[in-house]
Structure 1
Amino acid sequence: APISILGSQYNQALTAMAGAERLYRLLDTPPEWTDAVDAVELQSVRGTVEFRDVSFGYEPGQRVLRNISFAAERGQMIALVGHTGSGKSSIINLIARFYRATSGVVLVDGVDICRLQERSLHRRMGIVQQQNFLFSGSVADNIRFGSPESTDADIRRVLQRLDFEDLLEALPAGLATQVGEGGAALSAGQRQLVCFARAMLADPAILILDEATSSIDSATEARLQRALETLTQGRTSFVVAHRLSTIRRADQVLVLDHGQIAERGTHRELLAKGGLYSDLHAGFSRGTTLPLVESCAGRVSWV
């Protein structure tokens, strides 16, 4: 038996060494995009975002966005709507500065995003994705991620504002409950609650949210919808919208088709036009989600 155990541990050590080699190779990879020498640090953010004739492709010669232009004022909610591959995620990726536009310019508070210090931009920007990664640790640790100076009292105030306190306190050990690797110990709805609270605690000026379409119970979904109103209040928000209730509340709806803005306006204005949005709307019913939606690229949230 001891020989068998020793052999098993030896194999585990070899596997760990191979994994460590890949990890260090990744950590040693220089970034493709670094801040310019004269990059501007954002001291404060109003939250205005503008695209000026932006085109973009993930590969040379490819264009997944074509001549995109729009402006989002401080505190506005912009809903991005369209079929899979229409360009919603690409717009999100450019706002987050995951990629550089092929042509045109993306501006935050009137400054070219390429001239901003990446760290200072990301500190004032929050992303809540469909599949948010939770780290092994407590619920409180995961909510505090990105805001390490926050206290448990700060977390409880955020939970009260979002009307989440009773739901999370119902967990076996409350905020001290261990979530497991990737949040495996929590339900899909509970993981989403944690991510909403994380974003609220970070208090970003610009919020990017890809509405979850995962199966959650109706009561939790109703809570999330109410929390979305609180979370987006006073922030410039970009929502990859899957729910009609969210689209109705948006200040501006951008309907994307094959990398271009096919239509723009409010929910009512677009319905009155009887165009592409009206066709998409026909696939809706109250409480259902938009068919053929896409999720944001798999990136770790900052908040």
Structure 2
Amino acid sequence: MDKDTGKAFDTRLFKRLIAYTKPYRLTFYGVALAAILLSGFAILTPLIVKKIIDDAIKGSDSQMLLNLTIAMLVVLIGQVISQLAFNYYANWLGESVIKDIRINLFKKMLSFRMKYFDNSSLGVLVTRAVADMQRIGEIFSQGFFVIVADLLKMVVAAIIMLFINWKLSLIVFALLPIILYATRLFQKAMKVAFTEVRAEVSNLNSFVQERITGMKIVQLFTREKIESNKFREINEKHKNAWLKTVWYNSIFFPIAEIVSSLTVGLIVWYGGLQNVANISTDIAGTIFAFIMLIDLLFRPLRQIADKFNTLQMGMVAANRVFKILDTDSHIQNVGTYESGAFKGDIKFNNVRFGYLEDEEVLHGISFEVKAGETVAIVGSTGAGKSTIINLLNRFYEINSGEITVDGVDIKEYNLPSLRSNIAVVLQDVFLFADTIANNISLKNPEISVNDIENAAKAIGVDTFISSLPGGYEYNVKERGTMLSSGQRQLIAFLRAYVSNPSILILDEATSSVDTYSEQLIQLATDKITQGRTSIVIAHRLATIKKADKIIVMDAGNIVETGTHKQLLKKGGYYSNLYEAQFLAEEVA
């Protein structure tokens, strides 16, 4: 929960939001003008009614009555036009502002290092980019300008009251502090309540997002009842947070209504006494005008409290979004060195790294991959194999040591230039809910469908893709659920191949596929590794026999290096690992 939860309005935060309206300054001023006109037209109505009663009706002046009626009609038309302009352009401004903020937020997320996503909830980030944005838009469409318009109505109404009858005005002003004090308490309480609501909304979104994504695990391990109970608890907290806001509304609005009704009653009573005592003979029009002016004074105050809720919810949402925008968690891209294509020499020199400050994963490893070589990295789970890939792509920064490509420190490279020369095929392939062609090219305009088809034929994947309904236009749905794991791997190989990388990395690419897919992948591997530097992280040791060099890792250290035959002759870690896997396959 935010530290400033007791603060009813954050001026600094609001100024930052208003800065986003600068490109739409003309619209901003137009909405402000419409708000002023709405206030003016609202005030004119009771004045015209007073004149109709006191002058036209009392004086039996039919022409004046006609003229004043026409004047009321003009005021009504003016109100309708102003209200239409206000509603449309206030909403247009709000949507335009959140469009710009959302673009900035997404660009910011694209630049975050992987560590940020490791520590962040997917559901919370989605909430910030979608639901919270709509709350920010409501600041302009339903909050700020409406409050300004209502405040103008109140100020002008108070002035008109004093001008018409200062004694009746004193009655109104005597009761006004009660509702002002109640409004202030209401605003502060609602700020805290809405902060809690937004937190519970984020928790709810995060929970639902994770369980839907992991539904297969939930059902496989019969966790339905447990997850249902957890959801019930979270939903209960969400309900209670909202009920707190309902409770505050239930207290405030009846109080405001009672004070308003009491004020009207006192005005009628006091005005009636003046008329009975013949102190004022034109009091009827004044009483009618005051009843309407009290409504313009008290009703906006009640609305301001309600709209202030909208404003505060938007401010809470803005605070959360700006926290992400202010987060400094991106890889420093200060390198200026660019290369059209790498030669492919890679060197790790005494590299140390840990995902957490006090837990080192790599303990000063050093190795070299020469241009055009295929180097395999093997080892048990948690040995640090995949970490090497993350560091080479600069998804994380090393603690110490040096990583060079073609003799240049990777920090000296422009980040897009570095990553565009490295293609990675991961064990867990991610496919977007799009066509196969778009998943392969990732909508790169330089890669045509013809290029994709030729590449697919070159590595032996064309037959499988052509057999699908629609071929390359087949939609694989979210995360590629319409394809098997082996088929997804083949798509990932083709994606890597068409990007024509200087360095290719295969991370456990055949660890979870069927025999037929593995044969296709092996053929694809032979084709795409040919003539380029390749790093293969392998689970099945039989797939790396042809590697120029094998690096064996254990607990963040390199324990052996050599070819397949050399390492078997040593009878060390690799030999034991190979024999254990060979025996396991024989037993199977």
What TM-score, normalized by structure 1, do the two folds share? 0.84
**Counterpart among 437, 455, 472 of residue 158 in structure 1:** 455
1:30-53 CA-to-partner distances (Å, cap 9, x unmatched) read: 4432112x5312233101100111
Shift of 1:180: 0.4
CA distance in structure 2 between the partners assigned to 1:154 and 1:272 by the alignment: 45
Corresponding position: 1:273 with 2:273: no
SS in 2 for 1:284: helix
**Alpha carbons of structure 1 residues 27 and 190: separation in structure 2 relative to 1, 3 Å:** farther
What is the 5 A alignment of 1:184-195? Answer: 184-195=481-492
**Alpha carbons of structure 1 residues 86 and 19: separation in structure 2 relative to 1, 3 Å:** same
Return the structure number with greater relative CO, CA threshold 8 A, min gap 6.
1
Corresponding position: 1:147 with 2:448: no
**Alpha carbons of structure 1 residues 222 and 27: separation in structure 2 relative to 1, 3 Å:** farther
SS in 2 for 1:189: helix
Cα-Cα RMSD: 2.4
Aligned AA (1:138) = T
Q: Which residue of 1 aligns with 2:418?
A: 121
Q: Tell me if structure 2 keeps the 8 A contact 1:146–1:202.
A: no
Q: Which residue of 2 aligns with 1:262?
A: 559
CA distance in structure 2 between the partners assigned to 1:223 and 1:258 by the alignment: 32
Q: Tell me if structure 2 keeps the 8 A contact 1:54–1:69.
A: yes
**Counterpart among 74, 82, 86 of residue 383 in structure 2:** 86
Aligned AA (1:85) = G
Between structure 1 and structure 2, the one with the greater Rg is: 2
**Counterpart among 372, 384, 393 of residue 96 in structure 1:** 393
Corresponding position: 1:33 with 2:331: yes
Shift of 1:27: 6.9
SS in 2 for 1:71: strand
**Alpha carbons of structure 1 residues 18 and 24: separation in structure 2 relative to 1, 3 Å:** closer
Q: Which residue of 2 aligns with 1:64?
A: 361
CA distance in structure 2 between the partners assigned to 1:83 and 1:245 by the alignment: 15
**Alpha carbons of structure 1 residues 266 and 108: separation in structure 2 relative to 1, 3 Å:** same
Shift of 1:216: 3.1
Shift of 1:145: 1.1
Aligned AA (1:99) = Y
SS in 2 for 1:55: strand
Shift of 1:148: 3.1
Structure with greater proportional helix content: 2
Aligned AA (2:463) = D
CA distance in structure 2 between the partners assigned to 1:27 and 1:132 by the alignment: 28
Corresponding position: 1:74 with 2:359: no
CA distance in structure 2 between the partners assigned to 1:26 and 1:202 by the alignment: 36
Shift of 1:287: 10
Q: Tell me if structure 2 keeps the 8 A contact 1:49–1:108.
A: yes
Shift of 1:231: 1.2
Aligned AA (1:66) = H
Q: Tell me if structure 2 keeps the 8 A contact 1:79–1:247.
A: yes
Shift of 1:244: 2.4
What TM-score, normalized by structure 2, do the two folds share? 0.44
What is the 5 A alignment of 1:236-255? Answer: 236-255=533-552
Aligned AA (1:177) = Y
- The answer for unaligned runs of 5 or more in structure 1 is 1-15, 290-303
Shift of 1:172: 1.0
Structure with greater proportional strand content: 1
Q: Which residue of 2 aligns with 1:292?
A: none
Shift of 1:84: 1.1
Identity fraction in percent = 41
**Alpha carbons of structure 1 residues 26 and 184: separation in structure 2 relative to 1, 3 Å:** farther
**Alpha carbons of structure 1 residues 136 and 276: separation in structure 2 relative to 1, 3 Å:** same
Select between 146-155 and 197-206 the one with higher mean Cα deviation.
Answer: 146-155
Select between 82-91 and 145-154 the one with higher mean Cα deviation.
Answer: 145-154
Corresponding position: 1:202 with 2:499: yes
Q: Tell me if structure 2 keeps the 8 A contact 1:244–1:287.
A: no
Q: Which residue of 2 aligns with 1:295?
A: none
Select between 131-140 and 38-47 the one with higher mean Cα deviation.
Answer: 38-47
SS in 1 for 2:468: coil
Shift of 1:147: 3.4
- The answer for unaligned runs of 5 or more in structure 2 is 1-125, 133-201, 203-319
**Alpha carbons of structure 1 residues 26 and 197: separation in structure 2 relative to 1, 3 Å:** farther
Number of aligned residues: 274
Aligned AA (2:452) = I
CA distance in structure 2 between the partners assigned to 1:146 and 1:131 by the alignment: 21
Corresponding position: 1:221 with 2:529: no
**Alpha carbons of structure 1 residues 159 and 287: separation in structure 2 relative to 1, 3 Å:** farther
Shift of 1:85: 1.2
**Alpha carbons of structure 1 residues 50 and 17: separation in structure 2 relative to 1, 3 Å:** closer
**Counterpart among 133, 137, 162 of residue 434 in structure 2:** 137
CA distance in structure 2 between the partners assigned to 1:168 and 1:286 by the alignment: 36
Q: Which residue of 2 aligns with 1:51?
A: 348
